[in-house]
């Protein structure tokens, strides 16, 4: 089974190509509701729309097939002419000819909400030798009028009144995605080279306002992350400033293109990585905890994450003015802290961290939302006489070598706190740096996402489950302090 949005992906055509070649008894069911995360785009969508909506086109199917059967199979030139006539009529009139040419028998389209007709079609498909393609039409949100009327909004919905469909809007600070959307328009006004590219998530990535302001500078390629990445590389090589707006979990699909098409060519592509870290209601499959691990090791890549929504704006300006290769800024699926947003945007020096709270002997190096968690832990420990230093380790790559050497020279014991996979993490990068520089008396403890998939739940629940809370930081620090008191040397790492 496959949705019509997913049918635009290259992997779907790889499968159809293989299925048509093998000619095994296999049923492919297309659930066609004209929607994925956003309204579908592209030639495949237009092709399916033609099959779906042209009544004359559908009515002619049976008549043409009957006509084709009446053409006699005779030898010589006449037979070849008859075959060409068959093909011409088929191409003009029979729906699903693309799938037929790939070697699948096309059945449909059929109403997916008519159970009798649906079962009848499946029985018919079961009797056909070889692969069959069943085109099923459904309505997204069927049976609930508000959802039927606005399938775009109801793809992912907040709490609502079931009687009316009215969304219960929560009062709070703007989400990082909203701040990204506003800032992207500001930067688009400043630089006409800026163009946004997204793989079928214009709304979720906050690009609708940008597309309305700059309709010629927003490209939705459909569910095709690999194509989106390579297109960004091509745009960058032609002097544009492409922003690849994508969820962290979906960017995994474009790993090969990020390596070979973007980073190998040092293309000046900006990655706007939304849903970085835990995603709460988006579910287990969308956890954005792996992108640091699979991107920071690629040559030429720069990666950063803001401590708050105002720093995100400055990072976006940093990325726009950076001209030396690919650069990524990642941000979470949470509300911002409500800080004041600077009107003037100033680029941040590449690879430079900042101390947001002074301390001595012990430090937490935190990234993104974990900076706030570290500050909360520092406030708790202050009541117990511990002056914890908190560092906003906003660059995953390059690291702030100067600050890391300063921490080592001052014999500071440290925890690296991040909402990302501990394997391949910022913490791992710091351990690698100390090992490479043969610094063996600096103690580093890692607090990240453990080596397992994190299940569905709220962000608060997910942080509690993985021990990424202020209380957990205090517990870890106290244990760390008892094992490695400040000023007493002991060779080796703690992790």
Catalytic residue among 140, 153, 182, 193: 140
253 is catalytic: yes
DSSP, collapsed to helix, strand or coil, labels residue 266 as coil
Strands (E) across 144-232 are located at 194-198, 218-220
Catalytic residue among 34, 217, 241, 253: 253
CB atoms within 10 A of CB 85: 13
> Rounded to 5 degrees, what angle do the CA atoms 115, 62, 110 make?
20
Are the C-beta atoms of 421 and 292 separated by less than 8 Å?
Answer: yes
Half-sphere exposure of residue 43: CA atoms within 13 angstroms, side-chain side: 1
DSSP, collapsed to helix, strand or coil, labels residue 309 as helix
Are the C-beta atoms of 79 and 73 separated by less than 8 Å?
Answer: yes
Burial of 47 (0-12, 13-18, 19+ CB in 10 A): middle
225 is catalytic: yes
193 is catalytic: no
- What letters, b where the CB count within 10 A reaches 16 and e where it falls short, cover 21-38? eeeeeebbbbbbbbbbbb
Q: Is the dihedral of CA 149, 150, 156, 157 positive or negative?
A: negative
Distance CA 274, CA 251 (A): 10
Nearest to 88 by CA among 53, 64, 55: 64
Tell how strand 388-392 and strand 354-357 pair up: antiparallel
Catalytic residue among 34, 217, 225, 241: 225
- What letters, b where the CB count within 10 A reaches 16 and e where it falls short, cover 325-354? bbbbbbbbbbebeeeebeeebeebeebebe
CA distances from 129 to 17, 25, 65, 109 (A): 17, 6, 18, 19
Q: Across-strand partners of 2?
A: 30
Are the C-beta atoms of 416 and 430 separated by less than 8 Å?
Answer: yes
Nearest to 423 by CA among 306, 294, 327, 298: 294
Nearest to 317 by CA among 354, 345, 288: 345
Q: Which residues are catalytic?
A: 140, 225, 253
């Amino acid at each position: 089974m496959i949705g019509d949005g997913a049918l635009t992906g290259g992997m779907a055509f790889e499968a159809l190509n293989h299925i048509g070649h093998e000619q095994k008894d296999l049923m492919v069911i297309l659930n066609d509701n004209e929607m994925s995360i956003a309204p579908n785009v592209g030639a495949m969508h237009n092709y399916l729309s033609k099959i779906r909506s042209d009544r004359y086109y559908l009515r002619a199917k049976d008549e043409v097939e009957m006509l084709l059967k009446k053409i006699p199979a005779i030898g010589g030139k006449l037979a070849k002419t008859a075959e060409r006539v068959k093909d011409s009529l088929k191409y003009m009139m029979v729906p699903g000819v693309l799938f037929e040419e790939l070697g699948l028998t096309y059945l449909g389209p059929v109403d997916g909400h008519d159970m009798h007709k649906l079962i009848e079609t499946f029985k018919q498909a079961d009797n056909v030798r070889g692969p069959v393609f069943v085109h099923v039409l459904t309505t997204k949100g069927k049976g609930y009028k508000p959802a039927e009327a606005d399938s775009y909004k109801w793809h992912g919905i907040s709490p609502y009144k079931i009687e009316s469909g009215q969304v219960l809007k929560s009062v709070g600070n703007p989400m990082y995605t909203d701040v990204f959307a506003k800032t992207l328009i500001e930067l688009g006004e400043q630089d006409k080279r800026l163009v946004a590219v997204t793989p079928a998530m214009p709304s979720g990535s906050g690009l609708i306002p940008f597309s309305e302001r700059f309709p010629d500078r927003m490209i939705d390629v459909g569910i095709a992350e690999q194509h989106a990445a390579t297109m960004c590389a091509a745009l960058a090589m032609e002097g544009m400033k492409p922003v690849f707006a994508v969820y962290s979990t979906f960017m995994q699909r474009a790993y090969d293109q990020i390596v070979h098409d973007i980073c190998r060519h040092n293309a000046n592509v900006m990655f706007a990585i939304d849903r970085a870290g835990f995603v709460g209601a988006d579910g287990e499959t969308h956890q954005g905890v792996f992108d640091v691990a699979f991107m920071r090791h690629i040559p030429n890549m720069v990666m950063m994450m803001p401590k708050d929504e105002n720093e995100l704006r400055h990072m976006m300006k940093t990325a726009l003015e950076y001209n030396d290769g690919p650069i990524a800024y990642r941000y979470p699926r949470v509300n911002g802290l409500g800080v004041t947003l600077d009107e003037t945007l100033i680029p941040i020096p590449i690879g430079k961290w900042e101390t947001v709270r002074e301390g001595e002997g012990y430090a937490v190096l935190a990234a993104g939302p974990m900076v706030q968690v570290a500050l909360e832990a520092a406030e708790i420990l202050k009541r117990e006489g511990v002056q914890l230093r908190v560092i906003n380790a906003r660059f995953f790559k390059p690291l702030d070598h100067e600050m890391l050497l300063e921490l080592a020279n001052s014999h500071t014991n440290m925890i690296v706190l991040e909402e990302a996979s501990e394997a391949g993490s910022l913490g791992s990068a710091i351990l690698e740096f100390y090992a490479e520089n043969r610094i063996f008396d600096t103690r580093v403890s890692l607090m990240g996402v453990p080596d397992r998939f994190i299940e569905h739940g709220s962000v608060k629940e997910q942080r509690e489950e993985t021990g990424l809370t202020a209380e957990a930081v205090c517990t870890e620090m106290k244990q760390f302090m008892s094992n490695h008191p400040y000023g007493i040397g002991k060779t080796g790492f703690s992790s």
